Amino acid sequence: MHRNVSNVWWLAAALGLALAGCGSDSTAPSGRPAAGQIAFTTDRDGNVDIYLMHADGSGVTRLTNNPARDFWPVWSSDGTRIAFYSERDGNGEIYVVNADGSNPLNLTNNPASDATPAWSPDGSKIAFTTTRDGNGEVYVMNADGSNPLNLTNNPGWDGFGAWSPDGTKIAFNSERDGNGEIYVMNADGSGLRNLTNNPAADLAPAWRPR
């Protein structure tokens, strides 16, 4: 397990795909991405950046274009924005950008490493992993970056928060028991429960959609 969340490229390569909708490749109104569009991470132009393509692999376009590494794209539930991890400020930060690549905004702006963004189903909040308290913790903030709140607050490494489809719970990975386990908690950090309780390493939870 990588405790330094600035070194999450190995997981980003496997988990950094994000799919918004399905069906037609027709252009969506109001700046929203076409149905079935996929955001992905690639170094095809010599740098790690985020690209978009249609679900059939056509229409590849570059979303970010920065000398630093940008990866781990995650769509907002309405398909209008993409949150992602970026090192363009010299350390790991959570950025958000419009689906057409415009208006990149640093949401975390902290000297610690912030990574693995996860949108709440209603788009109002973003969960993320951060080392700002000296070890990995799961935080949640408003979608504009305001009011960051530590939900886990434990000496063990916690990260990779994943929202339940109804937005009431967050599953996450924790090493508080000495090895990787999957925990779940309420969206405010209460009601903590160990789901796996196994001597093997368990990580990267993903909720089944409704």
Q: Is the pLDDT of residue 6 over 60?
A: no
How do beta strands 70-75 and 81-86 pair?
antiparallel
Greatest pairwise CA separation for the chain in angstroms: 50
What SS3 class is residue 99?
A: coil
Percent of the chain with pLDDT over 70: 83
Q: Tell me the average pLDDT of the chain.
A: 86
Separation CA 169–CA 18 (nearest Å):
21
Question: Quick one: tokens of 107?
Answer: 């949401």
- Reported as half-sphere exposure (CB side, CA atoms, 13 A), residue 14 has a value of 4
The 10s digit of each residue's pLDDT in 133-153 is: 999 999 999 999 999 999 999
Burial bucket for residue 197 (CB in 10 Å: 0-12, 13-18, 19+): exposed
The 10s digit of each residue's pLDDT in 111-135 is: 999 999 999 999 999 999 999 999 9
Q: What pTM did the predictor assign? A: 0.84
pLDDT tier, 9 (very low <50, low <70, confident <90, very high otherwise): very low
pLDDT tier, 165 (very low <50, low <70, confident <90, very high otherwise): very high
